[in-house]
Amino acid sequence: MNPHLFRTVGFGLAWMMFATNTLTAVEVRPPLENKITQALKKRLAVNFQAVPLADAIKHLATEAGVPYRLDLRTYEENAVKSDTPVTLQRDEQEIAETLCEILNPLGLSYDPHNGPLTVMDFNDQILCSRFFDVSRLVELIKPRLTTEPIVDSSFHPGGGFAGGRGFFGAIHDHADQQSEHMVGLSAGDRVVQPPIERKAGFRVPLKDVQHRFPAEHCLMALIQENTSGQWEEIDMVGGTMTASPGRILMRQTNKVQQEAFDVLSNLEMMLTDLSKYPRLRLGESEEARRVRAALDHILDTVSDAPAATMSLQKWMDQNVRANGVTIRVDQYSLDDEAINWNEVKITLAPGESRRKLFVDALDQAHLSLVFFNGRFVITSLAKADEALSTMAYNVSHLPEAGDFDWLAEFLYQNTSGQWEPVDGVGGTATNCGIAGLLIVRQTEKVLEEIAEKLDDLRHPLEIPAKPLEPARTQSIYALPDVVMATDLQTVLPRLVDLPQITWPESSIQRVGSLLVIQQTEVAHRRIETVVEALLKAHKISAGIESTPPVASPETGTEAAHKP
């Protein structure tokens, strides 16, 4: 039986049920935890030393008290055998986390949602369908949708929203409650067709569907760009999405559906009060935010330990783990870089920020702290560059908010990371079609750089205006002789010394016994006072003018004042 035919028929039946109200759509919410998921939260210490993979899985499943199944076909496809040796030593941590540490490097994963705990290939996880009621989010988006089609608002190579990868999944038009209409055009294609009669299975132009469900299309694009799963219309294998007014039907793994829930709920929270959020991580759950806030609280304190050098693992046990936060070490990436975790040290300094001490220790060991799948992980710099997170930035108050190309180029030129449109690999800056939002998928380091750069754009440095130079006028001062004119030319700048008065070169010139001075009105008034006092003193000393009589304190009679 053709699996694609089965999928098509299955979706058709689902929409028939939806049209007849026999299937009720529920509000967007995370997948419910089942008993296996809860059991895997049990904390357990392990010390596997070259233990066969099958035995390690059996031990973990037994400790969790859950049934399990090993997909041997998966092992054959990945060249992994049931006796592949596993070496891992961990103190108490969740069994789910230990499973990830064992399986992920082997290209394996596990599914706890469908029957027994099943170990399988990353790409062989079971798909299930779930409705997402996005009607509230659609109402928030509609007033902010840009007039340009989303497919044309990309800065990625190939002209498409996803960097030339093709259309973001199947958008099916169910407005007429007919059979599904599949869109399979490339995102960069421009199709101009006359109005067509809609028939079951007929491919319709992309623009036509975008015009019918632009907000839902925008959300589907965001989900596909910012979740970890594979999508049939992009990767030729994986999940699919179907749109109707205010509804998205997704067929994907439980993990990707949880990621989609986080993206949609965070976006709704941000758009409800955009002024409250200068930025928000779209792919982060409430629990992940709690863990991040807890570590920030620990690291934002000042160290009170005496100066010393100690193991970084011991320091984390005393300062981080003791306060309820777990940081996992990606031992596989450290082994690839020949880094011995037991030799990584931290240098303590009393009065110094714990964050600075921690970051300096990681930098010296060429390591980095990343936040992946709701957990903090210490990994190599090479692996850290592969761990991308999605951040939505509020750019509504920027003068450049409407010019996405300018903003994207600004980020490419002023951040240190690699960018897919420039380097062929790396992060992406997405014009999501929602006015006032810039969505970026990048490393933690670059996301912080972007926040700083956007803040600089919001609060540009104001260069104080240089005060205007007061107007200068020229005056000629006549002095009795050349000697006095020469002396006064030398000392006048010191005699007329005020903050607002400057003496540029050649502002005072002597011509015989005359001084030609170019200065401000304030300076000229001060110069006149000085010159008058000098001339009066000169006349008195020359006997040309007598001093006024003053009263003698001894006789009470007037006496002549002699210079």
Burial class (CB in 10 A: 0-12, 13-18, 19+), 137: buried
Nearest to 422 by CA among 438, 407, 431, 411: 411
Q: What angle do CA 376, 378, 382 make, to 5 degrees?
A: 120
Let me know: does 257 contact 249? Beta carbons within 8 Å.
no
C-alpha distance across the termini of the chain, in Å: 128
Same domain, 398 and 420: yes
**Would you state the pLDDT for residue 321?**
85
Same domain, 303 and 178: no
Percent of the chain exceeding pLDDT 70 equals 74
Tell me the pTM.
0.56
Same domain, 289 and 427: yes
The CATH number of residue 67's host domain is: 3.55.50.60
- Contacts of 405 by beta carbon, 8 Å cutoff, 6+ apart: 155
For residue 457, how far is the Cα from the chain centroid?
15
CA distance 492 to 481: 16
Name the 3-class secondary structure at 561: coil
Say how many CA atoms lie within 13 Å of 442 toward its Cβ: 27
In a domain, 365, yes or no: yes
CA distance 494 to 95: 84
**Would you state the pLDDT for residue 501?**
81
Same domain, 456 and 478: no
Please report which confidence band the pLDDT of residue 29 belongs to, taking 50, 70 and 90 as the band edges: very low
Same domain, 75 and 150: no
- Only one residue has tokens 């059996």, namely 58
In a domain, 383, yes or no: yes
Q: Does residue 360 have a pLDDT over 90?
A: yes
Summarised one tens digit per residue, pLDDT across range 168-203 is: 333 333 333 322 322 232 333 322 233 333 333 323
Same domain, 385 and 435: yes
Q: Does residue 148 have a pLDDT over 50?
A: no
Please report which confidence band the pLDDT of residue 113 belongs to, taking 50, 70 and 90 as the band edges: low
Same domain, 373 and 459: yes
Helix axes 482-495, 521-541, angle to 10 degrees: 130
Same domain, 444 and 536: no
Let me know: does 392 contact 280? Beta carbons within 8 Å.
yes
Name the 3-class secondary structure at 391: strand
- Contacts of 304 by beta carbon, 8 Å cutoff, 6+ apart: 350
What is the per-residue DSSP string for 52-72?
EHHHHHHHHHHHHT--EEE-H
Number of structural domains found in the chain = 4
Same domain, 454 and 484: no
Same domain, 393 and 413: yes
- Only one residue has tokens 């007329």, namely 496
Same domain, 9 and 86: no
In the structure encoding, which two tokens stand for residue 294, read together?
A: 């807890």
Nearest to 251 by CA among 71, 5, 10: 10
Same domain, 445 and 340: yes
**Dihedral-angle region of residue 189 (phi above 0 means left; psi in -120 to 50 means alpha; beta otherwise):** beta
Helices (H) and strands (E) in the chain, counts: 20, 22
CA distance 420 to 165: 12
In a domain, 558, yes or no: no
The CATH number of residue 291's host domain is: 3.55.50.30
In a domain, 139, yes or no: yes
Please report which confidence band the pLDDT of residue 457 belongs to, taking 50, 70 and 90 as the band edges: confident
Residue 483's domain comprises 473-551
